[in-house]
Amino acid sequence: MKTVLEARNIDKYFTKPVEYHVLKDISFTLPEGQFTSIIGKSGSGKSTLLYILSTMDTAYEGSLYLKDKLITGSSHKHLARLRNEYIGFVFQFHYLLLEFSVLDNVMLPALKLGLKSDEEIRHDAMEKLRMLHIDKLADKKASRISGGEKQRVAIARALINNPAILMGDEPTGNLDSYNSENVFQIFKQLREEEGLSLLVVTHDEDFARRTDRILEMEDGRIIQGT
Amino acid sequence: MKQWPLILSIARTHLLTKMKSTITAALGVTFGIGAYITLVSFMTGLNGMLDDLILNQTPHIHLYNEVQPSEVQPINRYALFNSDLLQIRSVKPRKGQLKIHNAPPILKNLKSREDVVGVTPQVRAQIFYLSGALNLGGVLVGMDILEEERISNLGDYIVQGSAQALANSDNGVILGIGLAEKMSLGMGDRVQVSTPGGAVFPLRIVGIYQSGLADIDNTQSLTTVQNAQRIMGEASNYITDIHIKLADVREAPAMARQLQAQYKVQARDIQDANAQFETGTTIRNLITYAVSITLLIVAGFGIYNILNMLIYEKMNDIAILKATGFSGLDVQNIFMSQALLIGLIGGLSGLLLGFGLSHLIDSLPFETEALPTIDTFPVNHNPMYYLIGITFALLSTFIAGYLPSAKARKIDPVQIIRGN
Ligand SMILES: Nc1ncnc2c1ncn2[C@@H]1O[C@H](COP(=O)(O)OP(=O)(O)OP(=O)(O)O)[C@@H](O)[C@H]1O
Ligand SMILES: [Mg+2]
């Protein structure tokens, strides 16, 4: 099976306020089409790891491969491009551009990628919104919709460029159980119907138990799941 | 770069949702540029008018002889006293010194030069205007009036009659307006002039001129070269002054030095003659630019502040854009475009404001005895200033926008996302 993402011997230190070894020799591979969850105590380094995997954080040691290509050491510009094309990211907080419409928010990463015409992009975006049952909100301002709706818009945005992997840092952490379940079902469906690879940090054990694979972190190491 | 429409549309959305700040920032630029256009148009208009008033009445090079004692007195030539200390008291200037020696060949020579546009001979004579019991001292200038009119703007200052009328008459005179008023004389009247030697000549008034400079208008009148020579009782090679107009005024000082050495006459160039005047022009320009630049700097700080504030408010947006694949440069461009849009909108309305104000000033009546050719305030509507204005606006907003937008470029999205 092909691998989507591979981490080899990742170490990370924070130097401020004091030197702190936050990630210790982390290695694992994510095969294509797998739904993986990361769990672990607060402060064990889950978010820190995810930011490195998502290419936003470049201050680490070790090497990172995306679709079997080494991306460690690439320029910021190139990393931005990779992020744009291959990685969808969903945050715990909804993080939409509040002054733009729902549709604009979903379209922006595709417009940035610039591979399709505006018309096609608009069509794709509507498609994603429909899939997430929020197509009626398309023309609303992003600041005028509910939290659960925002999270679904964020998922639609993460999916717009048909990424190789969808990452989430506690994407359900801020939602009630109904909306959490909803998001979980969406992820599951994406994995089953589209073969999407997912990597999701969660505190919700129930959520984690229903994924294909659980990576458990403690004190900057992966202690189980590799 | 097919990304620009996207970047501009994000910039536009940011600006539109912050309408108040945008307008405040743009207004700063508008006032800066508007003030610049108005000031510079008015100031250079004023400079141009003063140039006309003084500089255009001054020849580029003026050749004349100065009254001065002979350096070699007769006794110096006498060999017998060579070894003695010679002392002469009450040295007097030599007679006939005002005449330029060999004037006709000099004139001919100058006329044939490529870099000379025009040369006119003049005969300046001290005379008295006789008016009843009164003798008014003054100057009669004999000149080749048609040529003089061609190479200077003398014609603008002849308020009654014409240069042609003087050229056609054989005892005509164009009187300074101050003289005409003092002696209650008008067109067609006769005026008597007498030489220092006592000879009296009647002249007919064929024109009145008003230079705007009271000193000249109260004392000077114009006639033909032949007339002046006749009154002075001199031959036709008697020329006291030569006026030269050059193709390029900047060559005046060098050429003046050369002519002075070549012909052994005094040569005064226009820059020499108007050194203080140039200083005045420079200072007016300095004030214009100092005021405009101050206003623009103030506007620049306004933009800097507003952009800083905007970027602070938009931290989340910046983090999201970066997380979803916009590069640091894209983010910087988004904020740079906002600064430049403010500069462009503010600058263009500044040009409009300046255009309106300078035309308003241009239409205000400004009538003065001293300036017969002017009836509204002088304004110089040079399109160049509008070009400079908009360049200024864009440049200052570019500089003001650069630091904040460079900061936005460097913002680490991880820090923002963690912060929540
Ligand atoms: N910018 C930073 N500077 C220094 N230390 C940091 C910084 N960010 C995080 N840390 C520390 O690194 C450790 C790992 O943080 P991280 O956010 O990855 O934990 P986490 O597993 O995501 O926790 P949580 O479940 O609460 O989100 C923590 O001890 C945290 O205090
Ligand atoms: Mg975390």
Domain ranges for chain B, please list them. 4-55+277-419, 60-74+95-273
pLDDT tens, residue by residue, A46-65? 999 999 999 999 999 999 99
Task: Find the mean pLDDT for residues A112-117.
Answer: 93
CATH of the domain spanning A34-44+76-224: 3.40.50.300
pLDDT tens, residue by residue, B266-280? 888 887 766 766 777
Query: Is residue B10 within 8 Å of B334, Cβ to Cβ?
Result: yes
Residue B39: what pLDDT? 87
CB-based contact B328 A157, cutoff 8 Å: no
Q: Can you tell me the distance from the alpha carbon of B36 to that of B293, in angstroms, rounded to the nearest whole number?
A: 8
Query: Is residue B413 within 8 Å of B312, Cβ to Cβ?
Result: no
pLDDT tens, residue by residue, B194-241? 988 888 999 999 999 888 778 888 999 999 999 999 988 888 888 999
Question: What's the pTM value of the predicted model, to 2 decimals?
Answer: 0.74
Q: How far does chain A reach from its first CA to its final CA, in angstroms?
A: 16
Atom of ligand 1 nearest to the CA of A203: 25
- Enumerate the H helices of B314-327 as residue ranges: 315-323
pLDDT tens, residue by residue, B104-145? 888 898 888 888 888 999 999 889 998 777 888 899 999 998
Q: In terms of C-beta distances under 8 Å and separation of at least 24 residues, what long-range contacts does B124-127 make, across chains too?
A: B124/B98, B124/B228, B124/B240, B124/B241, B125/B195, B125/B228, B125/B231, B125/B232, B125/B240, B126/B196, B127/B193, B127/B194, B127/B195, B127/B196, B127/B231
Count CB-CB contacts under 10 A for residue B248: 10
Name the DSSP letter for residue B239.
-
Q: Count of A–B CB contacts within 8 Å? A: 67
**Would you list the domain boundaries of chain A?**
34-44+76-224
Assess whether pLDDT exceeds 60 at residue A75: yes
Residues in chain A whose beta carbon is closer than 8 A to a beta carbon of chain B?
47, 51, 54, 56-57, 76-77, 80-81, 83-85, 89, 91-93, 95-97, 99-100, 108-109, 111-114, 157, 169
Task: Find the mean pLDDT for residues B165-172.
Answer: 88
* Rg of chain A taking only CA atoms, in angstroms: 17
Assess whether pLDDT exceeds 80 at residue B174: yes
Question: Which ligand is closest in space to the CA of residue A42?
Answer: 1
Confidence of residue B55 (pLDDT cuts 50, 70, 90): low
Atom of ligand 1 nearest to the CA of A217: 21
SS3 (DSSP) at A199 = strand
pLDDT tens, residue by residue, B338-390? 999 999 999 999 999 999 999 999 888 887 766 666 778 888 888 998 998 89
- The minimum CA-CA distance between B321 and chain A, rounded to whole Å, is 8
Angle value at C-alpha A132, between A128 and A137, nearest 5 degrees = 85
| Residue B269 exposure: Cα atoms within 13 Å on the Cβ side | 16
Task: Find the mean pLDDT for residues B158-164.
Answer: 88
SS3 (DSSP) at B213 = coil
Q: Which two tokens stand for residue B214?
A: 């009271």
Assess whether pLDDT exceeds 80 at residue A85: yes
Q: Which amino acid makes up residue B65?
A: N
Q: Which two tokens stand for residue A168?
A: 């989430």
Q: How far apart, in Å, are the Cα atoms of A76 and each of A81, B151, B230?
A: 9, 68, 92
Find residue B261's DSSP bridge partners: none
Q: Omega before A17 cis (within 30°)?
A: yes
CB-based contact A89 B324, cutoff 8 Å: yes
B324, B331, B326: which is closest to A90 by C-alpha? B324
Q: Can you tell me the distance from the alpha carbon of B100 to that of B66, in angstroms, rounded to the nearest whole number?
A: 10
